[in-house]
Amino acid sequence: MIQDIETPSEEFFNIHGRLLYAPGPTMVPPRVLQAMSKQIINPDLDPDFPNWLLETSRLVGKIIKTKNEVLILPGEGMLALDAALNSVIKPNDEVLVLASGIFGHGFADMVKNCRGKPIVVATDGYDEVLSVEKVKEALDNHPNITAITLVHCETPSGTLNPLKEICKVCQKSDAITIVDAVSSNGGTDILTDEFGIDINLGASQKVFSAPPGIAFMSLSERAIEVINERESIPTFYSDLSVWTKSWIKNRSLPFTHSISDLYAFRESVEIILEEGLENGFRRHKRISKAIIAAGQAMGLELYPKKNDYVSPTVTAFKVPTGIDFEKLMLLMWKKYGVLIAGAWGPVLGGRVLRLGNMGFGANPQFALIALAALEKSLKDFGFQIKLGAANEAFWENY
Amino acid sequence: MIQDIETPSEEFFNIHGRLLYAPGPTMVPPRVLQAMSKQIINPDLDPDFPNWLLETSRLVGKIIKTKNEVLILPGEGMLALDAALNSVIKPNDEVLVLASGIFGHGFADMVKNCRGKPIVVATDGYDEVLSVEKVKEALDNHPNITAITLVHCETPSGTLNPLKEICKVCQKSDAITIVDAVSSNGGTDILTDEFGIDINLGASQKVFSAPPGIAFMSLSERAIEVINERESIPTFYSDLSVWTKSWIKNRSLPFTHSISDLYAFRESVEIILEEGLENGFRRHKRISKAIIAAGQAMGLELYPKKNDYVSPTVTAFKVPTGIDFEKLMLLMWKKYGVLIAGAWGPVLGGRVLRLGNMGFGANPQFALIALAALEKSLKDFGFQIKLGAANEAFWENY
pLDDT tens track for B313-330: 999 999 999 999 999 999
Q: Where are the alpha helices (DSSP H) in A72-188?
A: 77-88, 102-113, 132-141, 163-170
Distance CA A181, CA B334 (A): 41
Bridging pattern class, strands B214-219 and B199-203 = antiparallel
* Span A158-169, pLDDT tens digits: 999 999 999 999
CA dihedral A294, A300, A303, A308 (to 10 degrees): 40
In the predicted model, what is the mean pLDDT of residues A142-156? 98
> Within an 8 Å CB–CB cutoff, is residue A39 touching chain B?
yes
- Which of residues 282 through 341 in chain B touch A, CB cutoff 8 A? 329-330, 333, 339, 341
What is the spatial distance between Cα B131 and Cα B169, in angstroms, rounded to a whole number?
Answer: 11
CA distance A115 to chain B (A): 7
Is the separation of the CB atoms in B304 and B157 below 8 Å? Answer: yes
- Residue A333 identity: W
Q: What is the mean pLDDT of residues B1-18?
A: 76
Closest residue in chain A to residue B34, using alpha carbons only: A37
Cross-chain CB nearest to B257 (options A36, A114, A212): A212
Which of A319-323, B4-8, B95-99 has the weakest average pLDDT? B4-8
Half-sphere exposure of A254 (CA within 13 A, CB side): 24
Whether the CB of A395 is below 8 Å from some CB of chain B: the reply is no
pLDDT tens, A190-220? 999 999 999 999 999 999 999 999 999 999 9
Residue to mutate among A72, A93, A206, A260, with most B CBs inside 10 A, is A260
Q: Write down the mean pLDDT value for chain B.
A: 96
CB distance B220 to A101 below 8 Å:
no
**Cα distances (angstroms) measured from residue A275 to each of A60, A270, A282, B185, B355:** 14, 9, 11, 44, 44
Q: Is pLDDT larger for residue B15 or for residue B381? A: B381
Rounded to whole angstroms, how far apart are CA atoms B348 and B316? Answer: 10
C-alpha–C-alpha distance, residues A298 and A310, integer Å? 18
Short-list B82, B355, B36, CA closest to A35: B36
Whether residue A40 is predicted with pLDDT greater than 50 in this model: the reply is yes
> Which residues of A, range 217-246, sit inside 8 Å of B by Cβ?
232-238
Interface test with A, best of B11, B21, B76, B95 (most A CBs within 10 A): B76
Contact (CB<8Å) A257/B115: no
Q: Please tell me which of the candidates B18, B40, B237 has its beta carbon nearest to residue A75.
A: B237
Residue among B76, B115, B260 minimizing CB distance to A74: B76
Contact B211 A258 (CB under 8 A): yes
Give me the architecture of the B2-28+277-397 domain, per CATH: Alpha-Beta Complex (3.90)
Q: Work out whether strand A147-151 and strand A176-180 pair parallel, antiparallel, or are unpaired.
A: parallel
Buried b / exposed e over B189-225, threshold 16 CB at 10 Å, is ebebeebebbbbbbbbbbbbbbbbbbbbbbbbebbbe
Domain residue extents for chain B: 2-28+277-397, 38-274
Helices A132-141 & A163-170, crossing angle to 10 degrees?
20
Contact B45 A329 (CB under 8 A): yes
Mean pLDDT throughout B289-308?
98
Amino acid at residue number B125: G
pLDDT at A101 over 70: yes
Query: B354 forms bridges with which residues in the sheet?
Result: B316, B341
Q: What is the band of B12 on the pLDDT scale with cuts at 50, 70, 90?
A: confident
pLDDT, tens digit, 9 for 90 and up, residues A4-20? 567 788 888 888 899 99
- Give B375 to chain A, closest Cα distance, Å: 20
Residues in CB range of A208: below 8 A, 6 or more apart: A185, A186, A202, A265, A268, A269, A272, A359
Nearest residue of chain A to residue B47 (CA atoms): A330
pLDDT of residue B4: 56
Span B319-378, pLDDT tens digits: 999 999 999 999 999 999 999 999 999 999 999 999 999 999 999 999 999 999 999 999
B41/A37 Cβ within 8 A: no
- State yes or no: pLDDT of B230 exceeds 50: yes
CA-based nearest residue to B157, from B134, B124, B135, B195: B124
Chain B residues within 8 A of A213 when measuring between CB atoms: 74, 213, 258, 260-261
pLDDT in the model for residue B170: 98
Distance (Å) of CA B29 to CA A378, A397, B32: 45, 48, 5
Nearest of B382, B385, B261, B397 to residue B331 by alpha carbon: B382
CA angle A390, A392, A396 (to 5 degrees): 115
Is B369 touching A (CB cutoff 8 A)? no
Q: Do A25 and B256 touch (CB under 8 A)?
A: yes
Dist CA A159 CA A347 (whole Å): 14
User: CA nearest A255 in B: which residue?
Assistant: B78
Q: What is the average per-residue pLDDT within B193-219?
A: 98
Q: Where are the alpha helices (DSSP H) in chain A?
A: 10-16, 30-36, 49-63, 77-88, 102-113, 132-141, 163-170, 192-195, 221-229, 240-243, 249-250, 259-275, 277-297, 325-336, 345-348, 364-380, 389-397
Helix axes B132-141, B163-170, angle to 10 degrees: 20
Maximum C-alpha span of chain B:
69
pLDDT band at A49 (very low <50, low <70, confident <90, very high): very high
Asked whether the predicted pLDDT for residue A1 surpasses 50, the reply is no
Contact B33 A39 (CB under 8 A): yes
Compare CB distances from B82 to A237, A259, A339 and report the shortest one's residue: A237
Q: Which helix (H) or strand (E) holds B318?
A: strand B315-318
Whether A234 and B113 lie within 8 Å, measured CB to CB:
yes
Beta-strand relationship, B338-339 and B19-20: parallel
Residues of A in contact with B264 (CB under 8 A): 260
What is the reported pLDDT for B1?
42
From CA B243, how far away is CA A283, in angstroms rounded?
Answer: 38
Question: Cβ neighbours of residue A138 under 8 Å, at least 6 residues apart?
Answer: A96, A119, A121
Q: Which amino acid is at A316?
A: A
What integer pLDDT is reported at residue A5 of this predicted model?
Answer: 61
CA atoms within 13 A on the CB side of A160: 23
Nearest CB among B18, B39, B258 relative to A212 is that of: B258
Task: Give per-residue pLDDT as tens, B24-61.
Answer: 999 999 999 999 999 999 999 999 999 999 999 999 99
Name beta bridge partners: B201: B180, B217
pLDDT tens-digit readout, A306-345: 999 999 999 999 999 999 999 999 999 999 999 999 999 9
Q: Do B44 and A22 touch (CB under 8 A)?
A: yes
State which CATH number among 3.40.50.2300, 3.30.420.10, 3.40.640.10, 3.20.20.70 fits the domain covering A38-274. Answer: 3.40.640.10
Find, among A376, A184, A41, A304, the residue nearest to B16 by Cα.
A41
Query: Which chain A residues are Cβ-neighbours of B236 within 8 angstroms?
Result: 78, 81-82, 110, 113, 238
Chain A CB contacts of B114 under 8 Å are 234
Residue from A76, A90, A95 nearest A178 by CA: A95
